[in-house]
Amino acid sequence: MTLRACRHRRAGTAAALILLSLLLSACEQPDMANQPRLDTYQSDSGFADGMAARPIPEGTVHRDQALNERPTHNPAPINRGTLHRGRQQFEIFCAPCHGRNGSGQGVIVQRGFPAPPSYHLPRLRQASDAHFYDVITHGYGVMYPYASRIRPADRWAIVTYIRALQLSRNARIDDVPEALRPRLREAPP
């Protein structure tokens, strides 16, 4: 083979290699708006059940989870903050059925849901704080459990607020500090 032919052949190989290397590059720009990752609650995840959200393994302990038994008494301090939080959570989760005043005539009941008992019944006025807490946690009768929706501290805050609602129907003038009584008398009924 002549030197010239040999050179031609080398150039040919190099050109072929360069052309082949172009095939290695991707044809398409990666889609930045839909990246190859799983979004929250995405389906078609590749897992057997298709869900991107994986079930929590049995025995997992949440870092804020109380490891002790449920306290028998309401651990929430009785103050403005607790009552405010309790009212807020009560009006989100309880008022639709129990009504904002706790008499059991919420908007869902007006639409045909079985009416829950009023909080102002003597039986429920005498019930313990823990009873209300347990009903929120586990449900009662046709009421579903709210354990996955309301966290323990907020359940206690709701119980505190229910107590305030009950008190509001049965308060006496003696319960008001003496210094504040004149203001109450002046207030319009």
Partner 1 sequence: MPQVFRPRANALAWTVLIIAAALLVVAVCLAAHYFSSPYYSGVDRTPPQPVPFSHKHHVGELGLDCRYCHTSVEDSSFAGVPESEVCMTCHSQLWTNARLLAPVRDSLKNDRPLRWQRVHDLPDYVHFDHSAHVNHGVPCQACHGRVDEMPLTTQKKTLFMQFCLDCHRNPAPHLRPPDAVFEIGWQPAGVPSEARQRYGERLMARYHTPTTERLTDCSLCHQ
Q: By the criterion CB under 8 A, which residues form the site for partner 1? A: 32-35, 37, 39-41, 43, 49, 51, 88, 91-93, 96, 107-108, 111-114, 142, 144, 148-149
Q: Contact at 8 Å (CB) between 110 and 116? A: no
The Cα 83–Cα 75 span in angstroms is 13
Tell the smallest beta-carbon distance from residue 45 to partner 1 (Å). 12
Tell the smallest beta-carbon distance from residue 180 to partner 1 (Å). 25
The Cα 164–Cα 125 span in angstroms is 11
Q: Which is nearer to partner 1, 112 or 188 (CB)?
A: 112
The Cα 125–Cα 110 span in angstroms is 24
Q: Which is nearer to partner 1, 143 or 164 (CB)?
A: 143
The DSSP-derived string for 74-131 is --S--SHHHHHHHHHHHHHHTHHHH-TTSSS--HHHHTTPPPPPPTTSHHHHHS-HHH
Q: Which is nearer to partner 1, 64 or 175 (CB)?
A: 64
Amino acid at site 27: C
Tell the smallest beta-carbon distance from residue 40 to partner 1 (Å). 5
Q: Which is nearer to partner 1, 43 or 128 (CB)?
A: 43
DSSP 180: G
Tell the smallest beta-carbon distance from residue 107 to partner 1 (Å). 5
Q: Which is nearer to partner 1, 41 or 180 (CB)?
A: 41
The Cα 39–Cα 22 span in angstroms is 33
Tell the smallest beta-carbon distance from residue 5 to partner 1 (Å). 46
